[in-house]
A = this chain, B = another copy of it.
């Protein structure tokens, strides 16, 4: 049986693994070129009969999830769902509606949107149909959705998985499959008004998740472009210089400068000029003042546009009372190609890499888990992208339609890691069972009341009450109490051998403090109502443990 199920597919799988290992470097260089192996030789060659045994062990199935992915279960799942709920409610509070797009898109939809990170896109195999890839973020699918449906304006949120073939750092929450929680506003509106609301959403979202020690670093692509122009970068080099600047959160200035000069062909002078500006950071007002006083910058058309917008933003962040969270940081560039205006990234003290990162990296044994020497990175990020929808509209031959967009994406796995650190007590259960139905009896004629327990449970289910019983014809009382305790049920409904025969059920509070309490004997005809009454008493006191954890109380 086993041989039938695992034998054949595994043999062929393993053959592919071997050839793949051999050809790996080749296929990495030329991913789209299929590697041809002569089919005849493959089947004609002897299958190393002498090594049969050792080969068999290599044919075993690896019981694991693919690299950079993991299963979620137990209380982790409860916490993550509570985070999703908190963020969904946040987005709904701001007029958001939700959409769901396919996990893969036509490959051409994703092409050319992610700059140097495009190499991290997962492709689906060409199985005789369209060429498709797993989505890399939720923004490009959103822009495709808006363009495809000729939507003029929408506030949408989307909580879903995205995929990146990146180097995973599991314990810090950097995965190849991970959730993003996005809120985006599409539509032509007053300058910086939805943008300011995005920043407010970051503040509301994080504080409602008990995260208070964060900073929103922000910058403006037009100001950055103005700086590059002033420094002497040609228009076609702007994006690649921008992506060099983007590395400043991980690398020192010397390294970034070298990249600009040696790899990206800028003069020393240009690089130094850029270096002067990108060192600037402070409050919105401080950096705004410094730049407006700078005659070269304020004379640059692009930079001046950006500065005018930053002026409005100051008014709005003050109206929201969130200016204290904001830091204007000219070194922020964001890697993605599609941003056109305000960009932002939210970091906590836990986001930064440790001081001795390089040292830790050398010591680290595993190349898979970089958690020891890499920070969690940003926990929320986004920006304005005014041309993306239009690109899709034009490229598909539709009438050109400028639909400006601005959005924010919460990195929920990273936020999860921060919240997880707060757990002291393990009083969160993954199940919600309220009532455990038990039967006590004995003697030769004792049936165990299994169908009767089923009938009782069914009445509770029909009343919407979470109910379990042990799946055993005759279960001893200790086993039933243990199961009830494991489930965390606060209430037992007990079918006593004689009592139940007389139409009575016993309702008892569970837990050590009720050990001596025999409970209450009630009529089997109206026990459901009494159970409901008792449960409302149980839940009267105190705040839910999950809420307490999520809010950091």
Q: Which residue numbers of A lie inside 8 Å of B, CB to CB?
A: 1-2, 4-6, 8-10, 12-13, 16-17, 20, 24, 27-28, 31-37, 39, 57, 60-67, 69-74, 77, 80-81, 89, 92-109, 111-113, 122-132, 134, 144-145, 147-149, 155-156, 161, 165, 177, 185, 187, 189-190, 193-194, 196, 200, 204, 315-316, 318-321, 337, 387, 391-398, 430-433, 450-452, 454-455, 458, 461-462, 464-468, 471-473, 487
Contact = CB atoms under 8 A, between A and B. Distances in A.
B111 A99 contact: no
A6 B395 contact: yes
A428 to B, nearest CB: 11
Contacts of A80: 100
Contacts of A394: 2
A226 B77 CA distance: 43
Given A34-B37, A94-B467, 5 more contacts: A13-B108, A63-B147, A73-B98, A123-B125, A319-B454
Nearest to A119: B127
A125 B16 CA distance: 12
A519 B7 CA distance: 76
A103 B131 CA distance: 18
Contacts of A451: 315-316, 318-319
Q: What are the nearest 8 A-B pairs in CB distance? A: A36-B36, A9-B111, A34-B34, A69-B102, A189-B471, A319-B451, A97-B430, A63-B396
B319 A92 contact: no
11 contacts: A6-B112, A13-B107, A33-B39, A60-B395, A65-B106, A66-B105, A72-B101, A81-B98, A93-B464, A190-B473, A321-B455
Contacts of A93: 461, 464-467
**Copy number of this protein in the oligomer?**
2
A513 B282 CA distance: 52
A64 to B, nearest CB: 7
Q: Is the interface of A mostly helix, strand, loop or mixed?
A: mixed
A131 B16 contact: yes
A25 B35 CA distance: 20
Nearest to A104: B66
A196 B319 contact: no
A123 B127 contact: yes
B471 A193 contact: yes
Contact of A103 (B92, B96, B103, B458): B103
B77 A450 contact: no
A89 B461 CA distance: 10
A412 to B, nearest CB: 12
A279 to B, nearest CB: 30
A36 B461 CA distance: 59
Nearest to A465: B93
A450 to B, nearest CB: 7
Contacts of A318: 451
Contacts of A71: 99-102, 145, 148-149
